[in-house]
Chains A and B, each alone.
Chain A
Amino acid sequence: MTGLKTGDQGAMAQLYDRYSSVVYAIALRVLGDTGAAEDVLQEVFLQLWRNPSAFDAARGSLGSWLAVVTRNRAIDSLRKRRPETDIENVVLSVAPDLASDAERARAAEKVRGVMGTMAPAQRSALEMAYWEGMSHSEIADKTGEPLGTVKTRIRAGLIALRKAFQT
């Protein structure tokens, strides 16, 4: 990141080599289209190049930050809306960095394990919100469940993930 802040293009290439696979995987999962996912990949890294100060290393890991930014951009693209979240507003507490393939594979296995233990309705609500960018009211409309139930399920799902990584 230091190199990026001084405009070092080699540093950009290194960051790309380290994180492009996770960024691309997230964009592809949301969009289901390789061309659109590639566009998001390009956009996310260019945003970081243009404004490296948007990422605050004291507040979280770069890998997790890129994951959140990528998912938000991909959802914007999916819903055919202009970018709504400025990357400077994405602040998250420390989470796994996902810098290496092995680290990502271990973490992915753990996430899939937690998701597998969730009730189908809870997993479904969480996935609709996260991967499809649906609002709580859209999820409630689609599932026929009360808004409060949808809210409770989504929060409980996120907390379950958090706990799995705290142990």
Chain B
Amino acid sequence: MNGHEQYAEDLALYALDALTGEDRVKLAQHLATCASCRLELEQLRGDTALLALSAAGPRPPQRARQRLLDAVAREPRTVIARPNAPRLAWWGWLGWAATAAVLVFALSLWRENLTLQSTLASAGFQAAESARQLDELRKIAAPIIEPEAQRVTLVAAKAPPQPQGKAFYLKNRSSLVFLANNMPALPPQKAYELWLIPTNGDPIPAGVFKPDSHGSATVVNPPLPAGAEAKAFAITVENEAGSPKPTSPVLMMGTGE
């Protein structure tokens, strides 16, 4: 679980669809950004399949087989199997910024959808369809946010790689995606903290992150106050639990393009 023990019990409930309310929403948000927890969820779902084995009973009636085959015969295949080739050719034509903007939008919709699902069970069918479509978008965006994705930063020839961060922020949805490359390794018990610098007031914590072995990191949709106007984003080094206020010098900073 690699430091994600706090989600272990909720993951088991999630696998059983027995987690509700705020806990469910929080975990779903975490799952969107955490490959190790998604892997654990898949394992737990496998465990729930084992539980199904304890069901024993009579075979289905013979009429059920014919009923199914009749239905299959009446129903021509309407779903086209997905090719293994890149799914959407237009994707390659999008610029990085546009790609991330789509990603932010998709994830914010997805988050809203989860909230809706937890509070509006009666809208379940439409929510499920919406979740399917948004999950598809999330799969498309996986090369950007998945920790396993290969990330390559191109710079001018002979120039040493420099730490680089890009923040994509939708104020009206309080949605933020931050991608970093070439970040230096951190001392023990320390982490980078991203700050939203508002036009008025103190810096707002916008996520704590540690880069992977390649110096890459991603922050997706950290908790942010609604509608905060961002003048800039900045990064400091803080204790790994995060800090409500910056306590060290700003290492990186950027304003809107």
- Chain A residues, Cβ within 8 Å of B124: 76, 81-84
Q: Do B71 and A158 have beta carbons less than 8 Å apart? A: no
Interface residues of A in 116-167 (CB under 8 A from B): 126, 129-130, 133-137, 139, 148, 151-152, 154-155, 158-159, 161-162, 165
Of all chain B residues, the one with the shortest Cβ separation from A164 is B50
Chain A positions 25 through 53: 1 when the CB is less than 8 Å from some CB of chain B, otherwise 0: 11011000010011001100110011111
Count of CB-CB pairs between chains A and B under 8 Å: 212
Min distance, Cβ B112 to any Cβ of chain A, angstroms: 16
Q: Considering the chains assembled together, what is the distance between the CA atoms of A81 and B18 in angstroms?
A: 15
Residues of chain A at interface, number, CB under 8 A: 82
Contacts A45-B68, A49-B72, A85-B128 given; does A154 touch B51 at CB 8 Å: no
How many angstroms from the CA of A88 to the CA of B121 in the assembled complex? 19
**Nearest-neighbor residue (CB-CB) of B63 within chain A:** A38
Interface string of B15-58 (1 = CB under 8 A from A): 11111110000000000000000010011111111111111111
Asked whether any CB of chain A lies closer than 8 Å to the CB of B212, the reply is: no
Which of B12, B48, B58, B71 is A71 in contact with, Cβ under 8 Å?
Answer: B48
Complex contact B17–A72 (CB within 8 A): yes
In the complex, what residues of B have CB within 8 A of residue A161's CB?
47, 50-51
Contacts of A5 in B (CB 8 A): 81
Nearest-neighbour CB distance to chain A for B52, whole angstroms, equals: 4
- Taking each of B15, B45, B55, B73, which has the highest tally of chain A beta carbons within 10 Å of its own beta carbon? B55
On whether the beta carbons of A94 and B46 are closer than 8 Å, the reply is yes
Known: A16-B65, A20-B65, A93-B43. A64 touches B49 (CB 8 A): yes
Chain A residues near B (Cβ < 8 Å): 5, 7, 9, 12-13, 16-17, 20-26, 28-29, 34, 37-38, 41-42, 45-46, 49-53, 59-60, 63-65, 67-68, 70-72, 75-76, 81-86, 88-96, 98, 104, 107-108, 110-112, 115, 126, 129-130, 133-137, 139, 148, 151-152, 154-155, 158-159, 161-162, 165
